[in-house]
Amino acid sequence: MKQLTLAAALTLLAAPLLAGQCPADIAAIDAALAAGTELSEADLATVQELRDEGQSLHDAGDHDASVQTLAEAKSMLGI
């Protein structure tokens, strides 16, 4: 029972940490886009779509999916 309680507590504590990561990831993507990149127009459009989707997921409270989506955009940008 103690292990279950501990696992539940850790899960509840992890959600706010992920929620805080999303805005930092979005800011990093925005900064990279503003600085310029050598990506093609199609890849830039994909990065922007992933960034916007990550923002929407964050706003909806789905921080795990937001972090994953934003990580894909960051990877495309090389950050």
* Model pLDDT for residues 36-77, shown as the tens digit of each residue: 999 999 999 999 999 999 999 999 999 999 999 999 999 999
Q: What is the pLDDT of residue 54?
A: 97
Which segments within the chain are labelled E, that is strand? none
Task: Please give the model's pTM, rounded to 2 decimal places.
Answer: 0.76
* Short-list 32, 31, 69, CA closest to 53: 69
Q: Is the pLDDT of residue 14 over 80?
A: no
Q: What is the pLDDT of residue 10?
A: 46
Q: What is the pLDDT of residue 41?
A: 96
